[in-house]
Amino acid sequence: MHTALILIDVQQSFKHRPYWNDAELPAFLERSNALIAGAAARGMPIVRVFHTDGPRAAANPFAPESGLIRPLDGLAPFDAAATFEKHRHSALVGTGLAAWLQGQGIRRLIIAGIRTEQCCETTARHASDEGWEVDYVTEATLTWAMRTPAGGELSAAQIRERTETVLAGRFATIATVEDALQRAS
């Protein structure tokens, strides 16, 4: 198998951020769980990446001491081929993930997780620049509305569309769950 699923930051920590809401959670979980099931059925390695940062205190949801750096409730359980902890936006910076992927002979990455425009997009760009083929499964990413610097608001749908626009044809192939699984080798 030359393809790996990289599941980025799908962790309980986010439920403790002020922007969290459940509006898009059911669709995200359904698509993420379908991707996990399809990858597992194909014998594809599934890599789990958790984000940690900030003060090492129980009050910080991204600190190990919080107990929240664990899979998001509702995510299907799976046996991770590897688990990495990251402290930057890209899952390839300072984690050992790149070396692991190279050691496994992985040439294509399927990227999914939280947040669409931050860690998932950054990892997709970085992976492409490092030579991996990238399938970006937007429907298995999650984000929330954001304020623009000018004071407007971008909806989660607008952020997803913007992310697809800047990745497509340059850094990644935008794929549905089914397309990404079909392209896996």
For the segment 97-132, what is each residue's pLDDT rounded down to a tens digit?
999 999 999 999 999 999 999 999 999 999 999 999
The residue-averaged pLDDT of 142-151 equals 97
Alpha-carbon gap, residue 134 to 181, rounded angstroms: 12
In tens, the pLDDT along 17-30 reads 999 999 999 999 99
Share of the chain above pLDDT 70, in %: 100
Where does the pLDDT of residue 134 fall: very low under 50, low under 70, confident under 90, or very high at 90 and above? very high
In tens, the pLDDT along 69-93 reads 999 999 999 999 999 999 999 999 9
The residue-averaged pLDDT of 166-177 equals 98
Where does the pLDDT of residue 1 fall: very low under 50, low under 70, confident under 90, or very high at 90 and above? confident
Neighbours of 1 (CB within 10 A): 15
| pLDDT (0 to 100) of residue 185 | 79
pTM (two decimals): 0.97
**Which residues make beta-bridge pairs with 135?**
110, 173
The residue-averaged pLDDT of 163-178 equals 98
DSSP SS3 for 150 = coil
The residue-averaged pLDDT of 53-74 equals 96
- Can you give the residue range of the structural domain that contains 92? 3-183
Residues 6+ apart with CB under 8 A from 7: 32, 36, 46, 47, 48, 49, 112, 113
How many domains are contained in the chain?
1
Alpha-carbon gap, residue 41 to 29, rounded angstroms: 18
Residue of 127, 125, 116 whose CA lies nearest to 162? 116
Residues 42 and 36: beta-carbon distance below 8 Å? no
- Mean pLDDT for the chain? 97
The gap from C-alpha 84 to its chain's centroid, in whole angstroms, comes to 12
CATH of the domain at 120: 3.40.50.850
